[in-house]
Amino acid sequence: MSEDHLDIFMHVPKTGGTTLSAIFRKQYQVHEIFDHDSYESQIKKVDQLGAEEKRKIKAVAGHYYYGIHQHFSKPSNYFTMLRDPVDRVISLYFFLQNQPGYERVRDMTLEEFVLKDPEAQNLQTRLVCGNAEEPDIEIAKENLKTFSVVGVTELFNETLFCLKKEYAWGDIHYTRKNITKNRLAKDEVPSELINLIKTYNAWDIELYDLAKQLLNDKLQSLTEDEQNQLKKFNLEQST
């Protein structure tokens, strides 16, 4: 964390971001973080913040597209968490079926969701490239390479450890939040449907592979002492 930088968590839906956001919020005072989850009732747009409010903000979290840093005058550091695209789409489908405002999904099969709903089609690429209407995988890749930390859901603890190191966070112990229950596991979904999800998320698969590479580079650079700390953290979280 730095007084003169803005730390931005780009929360991609169904990537473990609700759990990560709770950890992120613990690192700041309430007035220091602009989080759409907790400020939604008071603040509708970033631009509605007063100059003094903006000056006090040290962190931003939410389902924002890349580019929110342009609404602030401070230099920024982005981080995010990506997830295996097939798993993310399956989880999202079952999650949205019980969410107010998503009644359209309740009446869809998983196949229809993949074919018809933009949230099931390269959403990670759309968010990271900063363009919902004309997603560009190359722009998304270049943006991702500038992020301070890029994590993956499947290596949640490892991602957290890298974030703690990068931003000098305090306590990062957690309990999982917003878990999708009563969903099919990936191996319970027919292979034809898995292939359909892959087809409609080809860019997300490419971006996810880059995310794994970037995280692995971080992990490879850990010192022996840091590797031991990570092992200890993994053990603590498993008990």
Exposed e or buried b for every residue in 79-93, given b needs 16+ CB within 10 A? Answer: bbbbbbbbbbbbbbb
Handedness of CA 222, 69, 156, 87 (dihedral sign): negative
As a three-state string, the secondary structure of 210-237 is HHHHHHHHHHHCCCHHHHHHHHHHHHHH
Q: List the domain boundaries for the chain.
A: 6-238
Cα–Cα dist 110/93, whole Å: 7
Q: Closest by alpha carbon to 17, among 179, 205, 236, 181? A: 179
Sorted by sequence, the CB contacts under 8 Å of residue 70 that are 6+ apart come out as none
Confirm or reject CATH 3.30.450.40 for domain 6-238, answering yes or no. Answer: no
- State yes or no: pLDDT of 180 exceeds 90: no
pLDDT digits (tens, 9 = 90+) for 119-144: 999 999 999 999 988 999 999 999 99
Average pLDDT of span 33-51? 65
pLDDT digits (tens, 9 = 90+) for 162-172: 999 999 999 99
- State yes or no: pLDDT of 41 exceeds 50: no
Cα–Cα dist 233/229, whole Å: 6
Cα–Cα dist 44/109, whole Å: 33
